[in-house]
Amino acid sequence: MAFVVTENCQRCRFTDCVDVCPVDCFHAGEDMLYIDPEECIDCGACVPECPVEAIYDEAQLPDDMQKWVEINAEKAKSLPVINESGEPLPTAEARKKELGF
């Protein structure tokens, strides 16, 4: 089991989650982040940090989001590790509003 980043992170990438992660399990794609399930130690520290509630415990992932388990595992293999927060994408604030946060 691991934690999983889902679609709310797309076009957002606030990266608040990255600073609290005790291990290097976040990987940065162009429009969102992914968690490497091999590295994640299931601490849950990242969940309350995400302003758009994009991160789930795999065990509590809703049925319509199950695809993200595989996507996180696959994407994390090839994308670079990100372990410091950076500038959110320019679309982040608009996306956050659109999502109702």
Q: By CB under 6 A, name the binding residues for ligand SF4.
A: 3, 5, 9, 12-17, 20-23, 25, 32-33, 35, 40-46, 49-50, 52, 54-55
The least distance separating ligand SF4 from the CB of residue 29, rounded to whole angstroms, comes to 10
The least CB distance from residue 20 to ligand SF4, in Å, is 6
* Least spacing, CB of residue 63 vs ligand SF4, in Å: 20
Q: Within a 10 A sphere around the Cβ of 20, how many other Cβ atoms?
A: 14
- Angle (CA) 69-59-40 rounded to 5° is 60
